[in-house]
Structure 1
Amino acid sequence: MSSPPVTDDWRQMKHRSHDMRVLKAVLASIMFQGFLLPAAQASDWSARFFDTEDELFDVSDILSQGGFIPVPVIITEPAVEGGLGIAGQFIGSSDTPGAAPGRTILGGGYTGNRSWAGGLLQQGSLADGQLLYRAGLGLANLTLPTFPFGGGTEVNYDNEMRFAFGNLRYRIPDTPLSLGPRFIYRSSNVSVESQGPLAEQVNTVVARVTGERHYAALGLSLNYDSRNNPFTPTQGMNAVLKHDIYSAALGSAKDFTELQLNIQAFQTMSEEWSIGAKLSIDSVSKGAPFFMSPGVDLRGVQYGRYQGDTALSAEAELRHQFTPRWAGVVFGGYGQTFADNSRLYEARNDIWTYGVGIRYRIARRYGIDFGVDVARGPESTAFYIQFGHAWARTMD
């Protein structure tokens, strides 16, 4: 899990409260004190947070007994003027080595521009692992930017929404393949918040999707998964192909389709070195509402900065394991957008990013890392908090 980025001019954000800064500092202090405090100095209760093998900070014991990891989500995205959230990661056990255990994520956040969101995600398996499922629901009221007509000026819009989704897949025996149906529902109440000539021009283009609208789709997903670890893989591949059809027959306000392809591949080169690469292609057909237009998804790129009918994102990562607990990563990315059917966006090429990160193995028995990345994009520098792999959101 990663948090939105912060850019070079974050110090100029409005409404950044003293209490919020203090709370962030306290959370960071607690986290790093947990890393540094030796087990011998811990109480009997806090000893559960240390590994008996190396006496370092570890939450495997908490997870194995049905506990959870509270992950602070420090929201420092300039578009929402900063904020803070919390996500509880409940992770079950798996009887099959290497198989993804059941997981529940419950979280929410609030930002400086009064955006908020909360949701629940549940995933796991049934019928001795032959059926895989993922389902979620949530509420949000977000004020977000979009960058229309190929320019560098943002226009803010408000999106008050409710959403729910579900996916059930059948695992083909003796293969890493699974496939099955998906369902998506969202209710969006959209309005353009910015003022001025540019905002009026945007409002004219998007008038047919403002106000409250409902969108529903049926789809199909095909998955290939040979990862050696579902949380922080270093070997294998995860590939997901999704095709969703939004239709008035299902109650959708617009008829359109969305096609998504996400591929992440990992290769171990030695005990200390491994590499990874990802390719993401997201495309919507004519008729899709502007707020569902795909965007470049790379560390170092602000949300909504590059959107179009189709977005391509590619990233490579090199990992070095310094110790059994600590690792470092360097990464670089490339993106571009296409806008053949869009009246709002223009195509953009040669979007390059790069960065570095540090990882700590926070749950040895589960192979879960926790860390921080710093990334540079075309406009700004950003940092991210990671739980598991940085690409976990698009892995399934």
Structure 2
Amino acid sequence: MNRTIYRSLIVSSAALSASSFAVSFTDPIDGMLDMGEYLAENAYGFLPVPVIITEPALGVGGGFMGVFLHESEQEKETRKKLALESIDGGANLIPPAVTVAGGGATQNGTWFGIIGHRRTWNQDSIRYMGGMGYGNAFIDIYADIGSDNQWIPNQSVSFESDNKGYGGMQKLQFRVGDTPLFLGVSQFWARSEVRSSNDTVNAIIENLIGLETTASGVGVNAEYDTKNSFFFPTDGYSINAEYMMYRDSFGSDNSYDTFELAGQWFHPISDSWTIAFAGGYESLTKTERGILPPLAKPYVKLRGVSAFRYQDNYVSAIQSQLMWHIDNRWTISGFTGVGSASNEVDGLYDDSHVAYGAGFRYLIARRYGIHMGMDFAFSEDDNAFYFNVGSGF
């Protein structure tokens, strides 16, 4: 993404504020294009993030997201002072509260709108994250049909599903003493409607699970976080674990448990190179008989792999990424990953799916350490590109 395109995005967002004409988009330290002052000094300033959708499961489309930062006047002045004293001074402070709002649509009729918020209190000893969304997604659902008859081989079938729904989630965490460990609680609620353009499939869905479903769960979470940046880490690691219970006593139509374990590790090889690894594991265990909605099960999440393409009771993915920091502003990266989904935990990686690609990032707001850019990813079945804020994990 060249500087002309970045400037056009900034001018478009600045036009929404009458006071933005007085704000500079040139960094006082290196003279490069920068939105740090705009985000800090403009009461209505936000980081414009185009949503370019090439997700194979949804088709080509686009939208727009706005990233709003919230700070007190004292926090702004402290961050500004450190940013003027060093290249990455302001980025090392506790991140400000963040609100993200926007939406998008694709050529197959899918559309969505979301709003999310993250903030901390008491010098990052309390963390909160929550969000809500509403949308309509046309997604192909895949299922493996097996047979013990040697004349009828195992095969994978798919059907188009029309998913309408709305819901929200929230997570509250408390730091344990002065350690990097956080413990907390989680909550999730969603109301969805699933249909198919195929009348036969639609009748089967209605008879087996019903066309409308409510998922409601509560759980506990733990996080160990030593990363040096919230927006674009280059050193440290984090480990996250969450256990959720969905029960009729919480308002859920189905009873099941989910568990998720995820980790990231960033290691600077030199001043110009950073290597990173990420891994994740998810499981779903039913606590009563019955068939769950098609999108309830976890799926392999890798750049370049179609969403919901590989679903099952147990899912795992491992990724690696090498980042070359050309200078203070530009970073180029190459990444690869492998994922697997299985009905049984001991079957993970009996059948694997590989994805790989490359991308770049530009430091668009130096005093906050916010990087924007694109990733181009490929897999055995699909390819896509993504407009991302952050490292990509």
Structure 1 segment 1-396 matched on structure 2, within 5 A: 30-31=5-6, 45=21, 48-65=24-41, 66=43, 67-93=45-71, 97-149=92-144, 151=155, 153-194=157-198, 200=201, 204=204, 207-286=207-286, 288-340=292-344, 349-391=351-393
Amino acid at match of 2:254: K
Query: 1:249 is paired with a residue of what secondary structure?
Result: helix
Q: Give the percent of matched residue pairs that are identical in Structure 1 and Structure 2.
A: 29
2-side partners of 1:203 and 1:316: how far apart? Answer: 43
Tell me by how many angstroms 1:33 deviates: 5.7
Q: For each residue in 1:272-301, what CA deviation from the matched residue of structure 2 results, as whole angstroms up to 9, or x when unmatched?
A: 011100001111112543311111111111
1-side partners of 2:268 and 2:180: how far apart? Answer: 19
* 8 A contact 1:280–1:312 mirrored in 2: yes
* 8 A contact 1:245–1:258 mirrored in 2: yes
Query: 1:30 is paired with a residue of what secondary structure?
Result: helix
Q: Which 10-residue stretch deviates more, 252-261 or 165-174?
A: 165-174
Query: 1:292 is paired with a residue of what secondary structure?
Result: coil
2-side partners of 1:113 and 1:331: how far apart? Answer: 29
Query: 1:48 is paired with a residue of what secondary structure?
Result: coil
Q: For each residue in 1:17-50, what CA deviation from the matched residue of structure 2 results, as whole angstroms up to 9, or x when unmatched?
A: xxxxxxxx9x996326679xxxxxxxx9386222
Query: 2:204 is paired with a residue of what secondary structure?
Result: helix
Amino acid at match of 1:242: E
2-side partners of 1:383 and 1:231: how far apart? Answer: 20
Q: Name the Cα RMSD after superposition.
A: 2.7
Q: Which 10-residue stretch deviates more, 295-304 or 141-150?
A: 141-150
1-side partners of 2:240 and 2:253: how far apart? Answer: 27
Which residue does the alignment assign to 1:13? none
Q: What runs of 5+ residues in structure 1 fail to find an aligned partner? A: 1-24, 36-43, 392-396
* 8 A contact 1:326–1:359 mirrored in 2: yes
2-side partners of 1:109 and 1:34: how far apart? Answer: 17
Q: What runs of 5+ residues in structure 2 fail to find an aligned partner? A: 11-19, 80-91, 146-154
Which residue does the alignment assign to 2:17? none
2-side partners of 1:283 and 1:28: how far apart? Answer: 43
Query: 2:99 is paired with a residue of what secondary structure?
Result: strand
Name the CA shift for 1:224/1:389 in 2 (closer, same or farther; >3 Å): same
Which residue does the alignment assign to 2:14? none
1-side partners of 2:180 and 2:212: how far apart? Answer: 41
- Rg: which structure is higher? 2
2-side partners of 1:214 and 1:261: how far apart? Answer: 24
* 8 A contact 1:133–1:166 mirrored in 2: yes
2-side partners of 1:161 and 1:358: how far apart? Answer: 34
Q: For each residue in 1:152-185, what CA deviation from the matched residue of structure 2 results, as whole angstroms up to 9, or x when unmatched?
A: 5531111111101111111112101111111111
1-side partners of 2:68 and 2:361: how far apart? Answer: 21
* 8 A contact 1:360–1:371 mirrored in 2: yes
Amino acid at match of 1:53: I
2-side partners of 1:333 and 1:108: how far apart? Answer: 28
* 8 A contact 1:190–1:209 mirrored in 2: no
Amino acid at match of 1:209: I
Tell me by how many angstroms 1:120 deviates: 0.9
Tell me by how many angstroms 1:100 deviates: 3.0
1-side partners of 2:376 and 2:156: how far apart? Answer: 23
Query: 2:172 is paired with a residue of what secondary structure?
Result: strand
Which residue does the alignment assign to 2:148? none
Query: 2:37 is paired with a residue of what secondary structure?
Result: helix
Query: 1:31 is paired with a residue of what secondary structure?
Result: helix
1-side partners of 2:203 and 2:238: how far apart? Answer: 40
Tell me by how many angstroms 1:127 deviates: 3.7
2-side partners of 1:28 and 1:379: how far apart? Answer: 33
Amino acid at match of 1:165: M
Name the CA shift for 1:75/1:210 in 2 (closer, same or farther; >3 Å): farther
Query: 1:148 is paired with a residue of what secondary structure?
Result: strand
* 8 A contact 1:166–1:182 mirrored in 2: yes
2-side partners of 1:181 and 1:113: how far apart? Answer: 37
2-side partners of 1:354 and 1:78: how far apart? Answer: 15
1-side partners of 2:133 and 2:3: how far apart? Answer: 27
Query: 1:58 is paired with a residue of what secondary structure?
Result: coil
Name the CA shift for 1:194/1:238 in 2 (closer, same or farther; >3 Å): farther
* 8 A contact 1:98–1:230 mirrored in 2: no
Name the CA shift for 1:28/1:187 in 2 (closer, same or farther; >3 Å): farther
Q: Which 10-residue stretch deviates more, 94-103 or 380-389?
A: 94-103
Q: Which 10-residue stretch deviates more, 169-178 or 205-214?
A: 205-214
Amino acid at match of 1:269: I
Query: 1:119 is paired with a residue of what secondary structure?
Result: strand
Query: 2:24 is paired with a residue of what secondary structure?
Result: helix
2-side partners of 1:380 and 1:371: how far apart? Answer: 21
Name the CA shift for 1:233/1:203 in 2 (closer, same or farther; >3 Å): farther
2-side partners of 1:77 and 1:194: how far apart? Answer: 23
